Amino acid sequence: MATLRTFIGIAISPVIQQQILAAQKAWGEVVPGIRWIKPENLHLTLKFLGEIEETLVDPIHHRMQRVAGGVAPFTLTIQGLGVFPNLSRPRVLWLGVNQGKQSLQTLYALLQAELTPLGFPAEKRAYTPHLTLARFKTFSSPSLLSALLQQSLRYEFAPLSVHRIDLIRSQLHPGGAIYTCLRSVELSQPEES
């Protein structure tokens, strides 16, 4: 049976993609040895599912609908760079979430609860909402990176209106991943009576 590498996430608007592209160009001059993620591939991951059988697409979609029906659309703001796992051995450079973090954590928790019965184990580590911006090919200067993290706080990006979540297929290629949206679900918390 065919499998698909998938995750559930939130798409980033073209306006923010362009703002991040400009920031990547500026930041790339400060810290060399980084492989930047293409702006059109930027997304906010809610739950990485890994390799799934195609027969799970519809059941996952159904669970996503149940989650989305209990969450109202919201706005988030993106601000501040960070690294995983730490400054002395960075592997991933990311942008954090400021406003809207609580709504993302609610979505994450609801997805965890809904997807566990389908065989997707709950994450043991805390959820840190972020946009992966780059991966480090080489790294030589913690002081340069530390200065960049401080400088990044001055950057402001447009707010992102979150009104849907997507089930996305990720196909890995030498030139970078190719993402295809398999299913979308609108956030639509029912009005209180």
Alpha helices in 83-187, H assignment, sequence order: 101-115, 142-152
Please tell me the predicted confidence (pLDDT) of residue 9.
Answer: 97
| pLDDT of amino acid 32 | 76
**Mean pLDDT of successive 10-residue segments in the chain (193 residues)?**
92 95 84 85 95 96 96 94 88 93 95 96 90 86 82 87 97 87 90 49
Reduced to 3 states (helix: H, G, I; strand: E, B; else coil), residue 44 is: strand
Query: Residues 42, 17: contact at Cβ < 8 Å?
Result: yes
Q: Which domains does the chain have, with CATH numbers?
A: 14-186 (3.90.1140.10)
Angstrom distance (rounded) from CA 123 to CA 179: 23
